[in-house]
Amino acid sequence: MAKIKITNSLVSVGWLKENFSAENLIILDASMKPVTNVGDAIKDTYIPNALRFDFDSEIKDHNTALPHMMPTPEFFQDEAQKLGVRQDSAIVVYDNVGIYASPRAWWMFRAMGHENVAVLDGGLPAWISAGYETAATLKGKPDSRGDFLSHPQPDSFIDSSYVLHSIHNSNFTIFDARSAGRFAGTEPEPRPNMKSGHIPNAVNMPFASVLENGKMKSKPALQSMFEKYKNNRKIFYCGTGVTACILALAADQAGEKNFSVYDGSWAEWGMEKENYPIEK
């Protein structure tokens, strides 16, 4: 089958099945253990030919104690090449919950300038529900390297100083993807030694609010959620920068272009030893 070009950052399981034999298709399993209760993960079952994309312990910045931070462009490029990713690869990422960890992998590739990448809507559960074939193991890394090249996109991932300068800027809206309880500081943080509350002037948009039955809500529904903020540059954060990318995907689906993910998220902002401003 000829090479394909992905035109939407979200693809259905039907689309993936239809294009399964495409010459340049690469399927990446970006599953990780959910930190919060987001549903049951499917274990030891995979989409055939899927490669492991482990941003939790491998494809990350190994020089910080913060979890799964975005690595340097050079490191990301090397790891992508090891997976056989080429400059013309059409990448579909999925996870074993539905839509949970896969948007993080999608945004990492987008941050490195690779546009030909999409999230599988509904992930592995939707693939199984459609009755498609599964595999008991993942595919091993290929013998030959790909020719993927990193082209870092400015402000795709941002740091705490960027957020600090945006807090009181009316041209920005900061979105917190955590639960309402964690946002308000009435629910304990799942990680030890973390303060409670949220970044000042942030808006709470729990990541589950953009999902429906494990899939992304419709484009009109998402557009209505972002309508109030459509003229502002958006910053998304969460606990560790994973579910913030679900909001980034939702914003992309709504037609938004002007947004960033705060990579350190609450894992950095809420640390006991830090003195960042906090609201409750």
Q: What is the pLDDT of residues 41-59, one digit of tens each?
A: 899 999 999 999 999 999 9
Is 70 exceeded by the pLDDT of residue 73? yes
Q: What is the pLDDT of residues 220-238, one digit of tens each?
A: 999 999 999 999 999 999 9
Q: What is the pLDDT of residues 126-168, one digit of tens each?
A: 999 999 999 999 999 999 999 999 999 999 999 999 999 999 9
Which of 59, 120, 202, 238 is an active site residue? 238
pLDDT at 37: 61
Rounded Cα distance between 43 and 125, Å, is 11
Print the SS3 string covering 220-237: HHHHHHHHHHCCCEEEEE
DSSP code of 36?
S
Would the pTM count as exceeding 0.75? yes
pLDDT at 33: 81
Pick the CATH number of 157-269 from 3.40.250.10, 3.40.640.10, 3.40.930.10, 1.10.760.10: 3.40.250.10
Dump strand ranges (E) for the chain. Answer: 10-11, 25-29, 51-52, 90-94, 117-120, 157-158, 172-176, 203-204, 211-212, 215-216, 233-237, 259-262
pLDDT at 122: 98
- The total number of residues written for the chain in this structure: 280
211: β partners: 216
Active site residue 238: yes
Query: How remote is the C-alpha of 266 from its chain's centroid?
Result: 16
What DSSP line would sit under 86-124, residue for residue?
Answer: -TT-EEEEE-SSSSSSHHHHHHHHHHTT--SEEEETTHH
pLDDT at 1: 79
Q: Tokens standing for 86?
A: 């080429």
As annotated, the residues of the chain forming the CATH 3.40.250.10 domain(s) are 10-129, 157-269
**Average per-residue pLDDT for the chain:** 96
34: β partners: none
Mean pLDDT of 240-264: 97
Rounded Cα distance between 164 and 107, Å, is 22
pLDDT at 39: 67
CATH superfamily for 10-129 is Rhodanese-like domain (3.40.250.10)
Residues 6+ apart with CB under 8 A from 72: 61
Strands of 117-120's sheet, edge to edge? 10-11, 117-120, 90-94, 25-29, 51-52
Work out the number of other CB atoms within 10 angstroms of the CB of residue 98: 23
